[in-house]
Amino acid sequence: MATFFGEVVVAPSRAGLDEEEEAREETPEDREIRREIEKKREVEVLWSWRAGGRAQEPLVCSRFIVAIGRNAAAFLSSFILDSVCWEVVGVVKLWNEWCRTSSTTNVLPTDSFCLFYRLISDPTVLLCQCSCYVAEDQQFQWLEKVFGSMQKKSLQVTILSTCPVADYKTQESTLTLASPFLKALKTKEFQEPVCCPLLEQPNIVRDLPAA
């Protein structure tokens, strides 16, 4: 959709182009195909301490830092992670049209992966590097399976992610904006001071960071 000044604004969030398809009753073949695709798109979370078939106790976690997207994952690799203080404790296996991750923990920065690390000196501090794209229909599953393995009492979650500056809505033009810059969203339960300004409307966050 072109605006008054000719720039193109993406107009998503419409009715859904396949509503007629949705309304049609499923044949048994359709149902079978849909089930197969759902199975293929299932998100699998593998934790290292469960490999020995021990009881499924929830992980006690006090701080969980999640880096979503290549930039945020690279930030953690460059400034936080090292093999001395952190150990790999989990991995997410998933497939979608954009990427496939595997259960290997020996990854290159250019791979698509989703790994969990634990701080050796304080095993309640968990870190997740998710450089793969988690599709819309997989985000809820990812959320339930990852957080489902944790004991969530007094858990503080920090989510790191990036967005293109061109997507930032502001009265000025984004060309004159000093970038990169930080913005934050926080729940009312988060009482500590935030290190940067809060994200103003009409800007929003979507996909896995939002989930």
Partner 1 sequence: MFIPCDRGGDSAGPDFKGFTLLMPAVSVGNVGQLAIDLVISTLDMTKVGYFYTDCLVPMVGNNPYATAEENSTELSINAEVYSLPSKKLAVLQIRSPFIKNKYRPFCETLLSWVKNIKCARVVLLSSSHAYQRDDEQLLGTPLRYLLTPDLEKAVGGRMKELNWKEMEKVAAYPGISDTDKVLHIPGGGITKLLFTESCSEGIQMAVLLKFCSEGDNIPDAFVLVNYLNEWLQLIKSEVSASNNSTDPSSQWKIPSSWRLLFGNGLPPALF
Query: For binding to partner 1 (CB under 8 A), which residues are involved?
Result: 1, 3-5, 7, 9, 11-16, 18-19, 22-23, 34, 136-137, 139-141, 168-176, 185-188, 198-208, 210-211
Closer to partner 1 at the Cβ: 34 or 40?
A: 34
Shortest spacing between CB 101 and partner 1, in angstroms: 20
Contacts of 64 (CB under 8 A, 6+ apart): 126, 127, 128, 150, 155, 156, 157, 158
Q: String of b and e for 100-130 (b: at least 16 CB within 10 Å)?
A: ebeeebebeeeebbbbbbbbeeeeebbbbbb
**Nearest residue (CB) to partner 1, 43 versus 81:** 43
Q: Please, what's the b/e burial string for 165-201 (b: 16 or more CB within 10 A of its CB; e: otherwise)? A: eeeeeeeeeeeeeeeeeeeeeeeeeeeeeeeeeeeee
Q: How far is the CB of 189 from partner 1 (least distance, A)?
A: 10
Chain centroid, CA 189 distance in Å: 21
Q: State whether residue 85 is helix, strand or coil.
A: coil
Q: Indicate the residue among 15 and 55 with the shorter CB distance to partner 1.
A: 15
Tell me the closest approach of the beta carbon of residue 204 to partner 1, in angstroms. 4
Q: What is the DSSP letter of 101?
A: -
| C-beta closer to partner 1: residue 110 or 173 | 173
Q: Which of 159, 148, 172 is nearest to 206 (CA)?
A: 159
Smallest distance from partner 1 to CB 97, Å: 12
Tell me how far, at minimum, the Cβ of 148 lies from partner 1, in Å: 13
- CB nearer to partner 1: give 106 or 187: 187
